[in-house]
Amino acid sequence: MKALIQRVSAASVRVDNQIVGQIEQGILAYIGLGPEDTLESAQKMIDKILGYRIFDNDAGKLDKNVQQVAGGLLLVSQFTLMAKTDKGRRPDFGGAMPPAQASELFKQMIDYAKQQHDKVATGEFGANMLVQADNDGPLNFILEIS
């Protein structure tokens, strides 16, 4: 499992010109699921994202997590994170979890995130989404759970 997380001052997801998820200050997290991923690894990823210290403390150091700053978490499923890109000029998506299985695991991941944090929004699994983000920093990190 991989996550590309961005510290944002605001972010939103539109599907068919309708906002389906949005947050103010917080983390926009793109989630890539692989065939070996489980609910346990999904829970570990959520815990890691929520605990990741990428917000400034009073001294301007990265020392606070999204919960400590009462920020939002916007989860967006993105199978393209699992692409193999080491050969050729076209991505190989064979490393992504099959869509039906990924949809169910992503739903479980969202449910777990909502149990852990009260400001969780999402994109729409499998939809063509327009994501807008005000990347704050910019700060971007790739997190992996195996």
Which residues are identified as catalytic? Answer: 80
Backbone angles phi, psi at 112, to 5 degrees: -65, -45
CA distances from 4 to 16, 18, 60 (A): 24, 24, 23
Distances in Å between the Cα of 21 and the Cα atoms of 17, 27, 54, 84, 122 are 12, 13, 22, 29, 5
CA 71-126-49 angle, to 5 degrees, is: 30
Give 75: exposed, middle or buried? Use CB within 10 Å, 0-12, 13-18, 19+.
buried
Query: Which residues lie across from 134 on neighbouring strands?
Result: 10
